[in-house]
Structure 1
Amino acid sequence: MDHLRYSGLSCETQRAAFLDIVLADPLVREALAGARRLALPDWLVVSGVLYNSVWNHLAGKPSGYGIKDVDLFYFDDTDLSYEAEDRVIAGAAPVFAGLPLPVEIRNQARVHLWYPRKFGQPCPRYTNASESVGYFASKTHAVGLRFDADGQPDLVAPFGLDDIFSFRITPNKMMDNQRTHEAKGSRAKANWPEISVLPW
């Protein structure tokens, strides 16, 4: 099937295809441009806006289809207060005012402080933004993108890209996230029927 044309190909081929697709997508381009202007420490645009944009391209759907928001991570362990993160969120609002979707900004240095209260289980104390991507409920979702100091794309994909190009949602058992894996899998399948969701 044509939407699976990159499935099973080499890591290098998949990386090149991934970057070609997402950097040509207007929503992703605008999100990355805004994040770059903000220049938050160790910033990373992650997850849905990236892999969903690949699925939209390969399945012939419009830019932004099925995407709820843009997730922007950063890492700043100099101030772990809620107030500091809130100031960043407020300061970013004008930068993303023209984006058609909300931008969810989270300091990955402080996730371990609120995660247990929200989800009822502990969370590691991350040491950088990229590390947190490896703990997403599904390996498929573990992808992030930023520009380095030279303006070159820096792709974070700890489990590779084959799940994305295979339209396959694979559980990540680094944490007990079965409910999240299943809920996101069901939602994705409703938008992209081509998807298969592997059981927890």
Structure 2
Amino acid sequence: MDLPQGCIGAGFIRNLVWDHLHGRQSDCRDEDVDVLWFDPARATPDQDAALEDRLRAIAPDLRWSVRNQARMHLRNGDPPYPSVAGAMRAWPETATAIAAARDGAGCHIIAPFWLADLGQLSLRPTSRAPAKRAAFEDRLRSRGWRDRWPMVRVLA
């Protein structure tokens, strides 16, 4: 779709990796496909919705979730983000802050907190700031991660 800094990431990649590490097959149709991009000139929910509509027309069996990271700081109460990777640094947990982008015939990985927590099945907050820590704790309670992936370790 030729989106600036366009990539697929977040829970979509984390879930595939953690299912694999638990010996399970993943079905992409069961997950949101998180499309991330960055363009301050097109930072409206309507723009994201139009992109989701285009993606659904191409692959209707997938659950597309498109978010321009140039506007997500407003929802999160943060200063403006400089890029997709900059936005990912503000996400609640390190293992979710992962994305992949096409790079010719290959793949470029965006991982501002590296890949260790993802590969070691570790959940760790990205920040000690009270609001970020609260978001991490809320996600830990509400997402059912320990039920789905019993080998996950919480590192607080």
TM range (shorter): 0.7 to 0.9
Match of 2:110 in 1: 156
1:143-182 correspondence runs (5 A): 143-148=98-103, 150-173=104-127, 176-182=131-137
Number of equivalent positions: 152
**Unaligned residue ranges in structure 2 (runs of 5+):** none
Map of 1:195 onto structure 2: 152
CA drift of 1:168 comes to: 1.1
d(CA) in 1 for partners of 2:107 and 2:34?
17
**Residue 38 of structure 2 corresponds to residue 75 of structure 1:** yes
Partner of 1:93: 56
- Rounded to whole Å, the distance in 2 between the matches of 1:48 and 1:81 is 22
1:47 equivalent in structure 2:
10
One-letter code of the match for 2:43? L
Distance 1:174 1:132 in 2: 17
CA distance in 2, matches of 1:52, 1:85: 23
Q: Percent identity?
A: 25
- Separation in structure 2 between the aligned mates of residue 142 and residue 81 of structure 1, nearest angstrom: 22
Q: Distance in 2 between matches of 1:63 and 1:83?
A: 31
What RMSD in Å do the two structures reach over aligned CA positions?
2.1
Alpha-carbon distance in 2 for matches of 1:96, 1:39: 17
Q: 2:100 aligned with 1:137, yes or no?
A: no
Structure 1 outlier segments of 4+, above 4 Å: none
Given that residues 135 and 174 in structure 1 are in contact (C-alpha distance below 8 angstroms), is that contact kept between their aligned partners in structure 2?
Answer: no
Q: Deviations over 1:120-144 (max 9, x none)?
A: xx22211222221111101121111
Q: TM-score, length-normalised on structure 1?
A: 0.68
In structure 1, the partner of 2:69 is 108
Tell me the secondary structure at the aligned position of residue 41 of structure 1: coil
The equivalent residue for 2:27 is: 64
Task: State the shift of 1:174 in Å.
Answer: 6.8
Matched, 1:185 2:146: no
Q: Matches of 2:18 and 2:92 in 1, distance apart?
A: 19
Shift of the 172–123 alpha-carbon distance from structure 1 to 2, 3 Å rule, reads same
| Alignment CA distance shift 1:88-1:196 (3 Å) | same
Cα 1:56–1:96, aligned 2, differ >3 Å: closer, same or farther? same
Q: Per-residue deviation at 1:86?
A: 2.6
**More strand as a share of residues:** 2
- 1:14-54, Cα deviation, whole Å (9 max, x unpaired): xxxxxxxxxxxxxxxxxxxxxxxx22221111111112211
